[in-house]
Structure 1
Amino acid sequence: MLDKSKKTGGNNFSEQEISRFDALAESWWDPQGKYKTALEFNRARLDVIKAQIESHFGKGNLPPDYSALSIIDIGSGGGLISEPLAKLGAQVTGIDASAVSVEVAKRHAQKNGVEVTYRHMLSSEVVEEGLQYDVVINAEVVEHVPDQQQLIQECASLVKPGGLLVLATLNRTLKSYVIAIVGAEYVMRYLPVGTHDWQKFVKPSELERWVGSDFTLKHQTGMKLNPFKGKWLTTSSLAVNFIQAYSKNK
């Protein structure tokens, strides 16, 4: 039997991480559930992602023709990013290492009449198929895999020339440890204890190095929570959550 805990090219995932997210998947879409703060975070994150897609592919002040765009969401989970982008008309593929998450996303999309292609697979398998996309999104995934550099390089290889790569994760700083782990998991209980490993958080400079010289960093922004209003906002500080958008050379 294959040892899926090893850091091999075709098995870059952790069984422990997948089991954890299997348990979470059914709750992801509940706006009144215990993950409503995470849903609000996704709303703010999605605003940034859409703005970068429209800046990159738009025509002047006009938004792009989403129906002409192919998008892949690496680690799509319950479809929180994939489904809204598909609603705009984009051709969206969501992949995830968790079969349960894929099925949850499929059911939700079908229930809402949204066409999304969800596949239970890894980014390495998509690379092996020789596929490329206009937009590649990897949001809050890299901090959960054994070989982080491999994942980012796979994502980069999936971007078409002239396309867009969007990465989102947590910075490895003292502030992120206090806020994202002590605060979010132990104090406020926004996330289950053990959701994150601070040692797996990634610095912006590390992402930029892993992406490689074929890309240009176009935009980066931080995210912060207003605890009194329960709203997530963008911030110039990249100390905790941050998003980067890269354009690939033609």
Structure 2
Amino acid sequence: MARIRTIAVLFAAATLAAGLAGCAASVPDSPGRSAGNGSSALSGTVTVFAAASLKESFTRLADRFEAAHPGTAVVLSFAGSSDLVTQITQGAPADVFAAADARNMAKLADAGLLDGPARNFATNTLEIAVPPANPASISSFADLARPGVRVVICAPQVPCGAAAETAARATGTALRPVSEESSVTDVLGKVISGEADAGLVYATDVLAAGAKVTGIPFAESARAVNTYPIAAVGPGRNKQLAAAFIDLVTGDAGRKVFTDAGFGTP
């Protein structure tokens, strides 16, 4: 079944046909749980809303899931965690939600929109991304506060923005960003395009960007570690596929994908 991927969810057009053929078995490399109790076949569509920083890793896992289960499709929607929470609470169809922090997952739990407890599967820390030539000569977190340095960060309600605020408070650094973005990929895009001298993104984003940016680690990032949880969404239409996909993400295969991408373990 052809892959469908979206960066944003268009509510009026989001009609998903989620067919289920028989019962389901566990995903390979995901020991211990089964999504069903009779048939070895899964079928239908599972819609996964995931934090923007998970795009590369979740794309790999979706390909693995579909290969292991012919007849299934994984629809991936990536955006800032806070934007995804807003979409889900307003009725956007999602079977699974993966956030970049516990705070945004808690919003769905408090609203009664989760089907079971969330499971932590990865951690991430911030890193300074600069253009390859590093025109502003950034070498430390404190350098981001120098006059004339164009810094871009995530908005405070976004996990990467909350982490940036935590690091700034811990070091007594007053950041004066030229813009606050709704996702970490937007911050990275500003740095790559030359619109910013520096941006606070995740270490995994620097790694994925390759030669497009230079990453500058800073010790203060250890004070703002983000833990990533995943959970099934209560109103989701395909609970068996949702459970199987979550098993893949939290199992050995998922752990290797995240480690390869630079994530830490919870």
Q: Do both share a fold (TM > 0.5)?
A: no
The structure having more radius of gyration, on CA atoms, is 2
Question: How does the TM-score come out when normalised to structure 1?
Answer: 0.31
Q: Which structure carries more relative contact order (alpha carbon 8 Å, separation 6+)? A: 2
